[in-house]
Amino acid sequence: MKKILFLPLLQMQSGHHQVAEALMDLLKNHTDDLTFKKIDLLSYTNKSLEKVITNGYLNWIRYAPETYNLAYKSFFYVSPTKKHSFKWYQPLFLKKMEQLLAEEKPDLLICTHGFPSYLLSKLKMKGKCDIPIINVYTDFFINSVWGREGIDLHFLPSQEIKRKLSRKYQTTNQRLMVTGIPVHEEITKTLHRKHENERLKILLSGGNSGLGGILKLAEELKLSSNLDFLVLCGNNKKLYDEILSWDLEHIKPLTYLSSRSEMNLLYEEVDAIISKPGGVTISEAIRKRLPIFVHSALPGQEEINLLYLKRKELVFELDQSTLLEKQLLSVLTNQKKMKGWEDAIDAYQQGIELEKPENIVGLIETILDQKTSSRQSRLVRYSSPLRI
């Protein structure tokens, strides 16, 4: 059986893991002869190091968001033509990546984070890796860490990114496929939404980590008299208990939903979502044709995502100085605004070239078949003198 190795980064649940798991489940459901493994290179290198980096990352965002934002944009959102100075730790991780490949012997590598992609690109260009590599991007932009040389296939978030990669790197269109940010196939696509609720029902997401000012926003829900709210608290028990203690009929807290089919039903129950601009959550909402209101953005990736989403008119940004209910109703009950948003969603979705599960699976299988054929041809070429 052929083996696919998925490479996110860090152990904490993130869009990198969600996208990897969505593709793993997709392949499991539509193939019979593949095996899968998901490995975080940092944990593989040193579990203690991974924990230190994860805690440091979360604390940096929580207590010094401005400096994190500046650092991210300075080092990772620079021109991709600039060279990163990773010399102090690059040899260690390159060696560990080589060791990982030797141990796992995968037939295909799928990167859902830029750092593994960067390392694999380096190994490819040094002739130390002949395994096909797919980059699967989990934001609406591509930071400068992602490997570009030696990458066999790119699953891209938009046509805009495809044009940029094609122009800057002369990458052939056969290697550039616009898939959007992949979401789990149990999040089914909604073609037309029907508003059947007597009172508009709003899903409030983004409370799992405790970041992003979710409790402050939830406090404002108390003032609402014309809307119902479902607050997705995730594993944030403090937030869940706080909202539950309010004992208000129009606000209901929800704990972590592990089932994606349950999440799909929840999306279908509500009329809009309030969220942070994380790539996966936004992509799920777009797939469900849910109007999206952004209440806050974490520094770095989410702020850059928000710039793109606002420019494409795919989301509505909330004004912290204006009453929440007033803002929601001014959009959701305005036919002109809703028509403009529907048109923006249509334009984005029309740019997706590869969306059906069977097409994504077929392309991945093609990459695997090409590898097998390539290896066989090398074996024939090397052994042909012995056949005389």
pLDDT tens-digit series, residues 58-108: 777 777 777 777 776 666 665 544 455 555 567 888 999 999 999 999 999
The DSSP result for 165-208, as a single string, is HHHHH---GGGEEE--S---TTSPPPSS-----SS-EEEE---S
Regions of the chain where pLDDT drops below 70: 11, 72-89, 195-197, 207-215, 218, 371-388
What pLDDT does 189 receive? 93
Sheet architecture: strand order including 133-136: 34-38, 2-7, 108-111, 133-136, 153-156, 176-178
Q: What is the pTM of this model?
A: 0.88
Would you state the structure tokens that stand for residue 143, as one six-digit string? 């930071």
Q: What is the DSSP letter of 117?
A: H
Phi then psi for residue 229, to 5 deg, are: -125, 135
Q: How many residues does the chain have?
A: 388
User: What are the structure tokens assigned to 30, written together?
Assistant: 């539509």
The C-alpha atoms of residue 328 and residue 362 are separated, in whole angstroms, by: 42
What one-letter code names the amino acid at 161?
I
pLDDT averaged over every residue in the chain: 85
